[in-house]
Chains A and B, each alone.
Chain A
Amino acid sequence: MTTADATADTGSAGLGDAFREWWTNVRSGQLGSLPIIIGLVIIAIVFQSQNDRFLTASNFVNLIVQSAAFATIAMGIVFVLLLGEIDLSVGYVSGVAGVIAAVLLIPDGNELSTPIAVALALGSGIAIGTLHGLIITKIGIPSFVVTLAGLIAWNGVVLLLIGSRGTVVLQNDFLIGLANDFLPESTSWALWLLAVLIFAGIQLNEVRIRRKAELGHDPLSVIALRVGALAVALGAAVYVANEDRGIPYLFLLVGFFLLFWGFVLGRTRFGRYVYAVGGNAEAARRAGINVDRIKIAVFAICSFMAAVGGLVLASRLRSVDTNAGGGSILLYSIAAAVIGGTSLFGGVGHIKSAILGALVIASIDNGLGLLGLGSGEKFVITGGVLLLAVTVDSLSRRAQAQSGRA
């Protein structure tokens, strides 16, 4: 009875109750995305006070483009972290995909058609991830070691593929346009309206179904607030971006993957099993879940997203060279997933944490760049932020334990 009553209550409660419940959760350590949003605000204030170019339309568009590759690769990392595993090879896997696409599209008379070259580049990601997954599950080597070997080996493959060319300049319109083209203003507003309407429709439909099943649901005022918040936030982004070059196609790409993987993790059996294996692999096994198959699929997804990120990076730089996939890509991508709130211990996290974390990382990188600071300062400060994010996470976990919720 109590269970039914408790949930039914939330159905009839108003905005005030919903806010009070949220505040209780925050106080007991269930912070959600709150710390990272506060963090982004602080970053914005600090950089804006140092350099008034940080909060301009032009820099806002730059930020979206700069964070897109990290966000894409970090989404794959979120999957792997949800299992409590790690993938250290994503940097050079992204390099391999970027180089494959670039080399196959060199207009030397033997070039492939764009869709085939892109499919082969992304397919190489899936194949690499499947290989990692098979070695990890069937031979039983820890993912840390397998993907460390991958980090070295795929770096070698990048060098072999580039060969004596040194640098391959992209000349394919699609590949260049991926990170360098922008939506027309009218299209971006039409998509904004569509997104808000679909979101509102989904939310209201949920209420309708839950009401029919006589289960508790969120009060309509909270839903109105949620839809309003999305409309305002997305609308602001579209407006500001249109003051400059417009909404980048990358924004759509990242948005698509956010919705798609969010759907997979939240609404499908596969997603449920990913969380279950990360939370308690033995319980998952006893529930009849094929744990190995889930792990292999997750490593394939991770490398696939790395490949997508590799195409984005190549497009942004308009070329690939022997450094493709190297540098800070791997560490920034893992840091993005962790800063966004995905636990390293498995089972806890959300795909949106990849995007929030990537925004934080790109903001710091971008802001310090505007201040004229070099890589040394960038790495030190980014490292500090990563440590801070994990500290907040672990302190909030302690608060949860003390309030009996962990």
Chain B
Amino acid sequence: MTDTALLELRGVSKHFGAVIALHEVDFRVYPGCVTALVGDNGAGKSTLIKSVAGIYRIDGGEVLYEGQKVHISGPREAADLGIEVVYQDLALADNLDVVQNMFLGREELESLHTLDEIKMEARAQDTLQSLSVTTIRSVRQTVAGLSGGQRQSVAVAKAVMWNSRLVILDEPTAALGVAQTRQVLDLVKRLAEQGLGVVIVSHNLHDIFEVADNITVLRLGQNVAEFKRTEVTQEQVVHAITAGKLSKVPGVVDTTEEVTA
């Protein structure tokens, strides 16, 4: 683990009207490490990753990327920085094959502006091999025919193919069976082994204790705990999720401030 964080959020806040979705949240991701982001429903996990992905603009605090202060104002800028998000719905087109999905919107072209299928197929295969994804029979089959785990693998491969440095996975194992969850967790570990920063958002503590190096707990829009996986038990994490100490109790003093302001 290096000392500079790949991504660092300092005191980041985000409001939707009077609702405080994030209140002075600190969050760090290191290269080569898997950082889990956990919390109950409505804790602000999605708001946090959407802020990093450039979908939401933060209202306060600062974002540092490799020690440099950055303003991520759109998904394009996030992608340019090397930040890729794999959303829970995966955003794959079922009727397209694996290669077509991996290159969607960023197709390689030949000299005559025709699609360079050869180059794309070769690169897609290389990427899948580098991630040791061995379960996909042919990269030319449609995504509709793939299992949940295979689809997740394709979505992850699509994300890391563009020299990304930070990959954020939103509930990657939520809809998967046992064997497929194993595939995806192995894949997550390999991403970190390749030096990428990985953020995994999940409800499943069992999965998190298997892959995560660090665990950040959010509760009601505030971060209430940061653990190293090796120094914590599942019970402690559950306690933090459900009853972690809040620096600011929402709904009493601050709400009046919000309203008058």
Contact = CB atoms under 8 A, between A and B. Distances in A.
A272 B144 contact: no
Contacts of A286: 75, 87, 91
B94 A269 contact: no
Interface in A341-376: 346-348
Contact of A209 (B118, B134, B140): B118
Interface in A1-17: 1-4, 6-7
Contacts of A210: 118
B2 to A, nearest CB: 31
Given A1-B134, A278-B95, A283-B92, A405 B139 contact: no
B135 interface: yes
Interface SS, B side: loop
A283 B125 CA distance: 22
Contact of A287 (B106, B125, B128, B136): B106
Interface string A274-301: 0110111011101111000000000000
Interface stretch (B17-25, B108-116, B180-188, B193-201): B108-116
A347 B129 CA distance: 29
Given A272-B107, A287-B106, A1 B144 contact: no
A1 B114 CA distance: 29
Nearest to A4: B125
Contacts of B142: 405
Interface string A370-406: 0000000000000000000000000000001000111
A275 B105 contact: no
Interface SS, A side: helix
A202 interface: no
Given A279-B93, A288-B76, A405-B145, A3 B134 contact: yes
A267 interface: yes
B177 to A, nearest CB: 14
A347 B97 CA distance: 12
Interface size class of A (residues with CB under 8 A): 20 to 34
Interface string A237-278: 000000000000000000000000000000111001001101
Interface residues of B, number: 39
Given A3-B136, A267-B114, A406 B109 contact: no
B115 A3 contact: no
B114 A215 contact: no
B138 interface: yes
A272 B134 CA distance: 26
A213 B108 CA distance: 15
B104 interface: yes
A2 B135 contact: yes
Contact of A268 (B93, B101, B114): B114
A213 B144 CA distance: 27
B137 interface: yes
A7 to B, nearest CB: 6
A333 B135 CA distance: 42
B70 to A, nearest CB: 20
B213 interface: no
Contacts of A3: 125, 128-129, 133-134, 136-139
Given A286-B75, A287-B105, A280 B129 contact: no
B140 A7 contact: yes
A215 B94 contact: no
B216 interface: no
Contacts of A215: 118, 121-122, 125
B138 A275 contact: no
A284 B105 CA distance: 7
A288 B105 contact: yes
B161 interface: no
Contacts of A272: 96, 100, 104, 107, 115
Contact of A276 (B96, B114, B134): B96
Interface string B66-90: 0000000001100000000001010
Contacts of B128: 3
Nearest to B118: A213
A29 B128 CA distance: 28
A288 B140 CA distance: 23
B140 A275 contact: no
Nearest to B114: A267
B134 A2 contact: yes
Please indicate which of the listed interface residues B92, B128, B142 has the most CB atoms of chain A within 10 Å of its own CB.
B142
B139 to A, nearest CB: 6
Nearest to B55: A286
Nearest to B136: A3
Given A215-B118, A268-B114, A283-B104, A7 B93 contact: no
A210 B140 CA distance: 14
Interface in B218-236: none
22 contacts: A2-B135, A3-B125, A3-B138, A7-B125, A7-B139, A210-B118, A267-B115, A269-B115, A272-B96, A272-B100, A272-B107, A272-B115, A276-B96, A276-B104, A279-B95, A279-B96, A282-B89, A283-B92, A283-B101, A286-B91, A288-B106, A347-B95
Q: Which 9 A-B pairs have the closest CB atoms?
A: A287-B105, A279-B93, A347-B95, A279-B95, A283-B91, A280-B93, A405-B145, A287-B104, A288-B105
Given A3-B137, A288-B76, 6 more contacts: A209-B118, A267-B115, A279-B94, A280-B94, A283-B91, A348-B95
Interface of A: 1-4, 6-7, 209-210, 213-215, 267-269, 272, 275-276, 278-280, 282-284, 286-289, 346-348, 400, 404-406
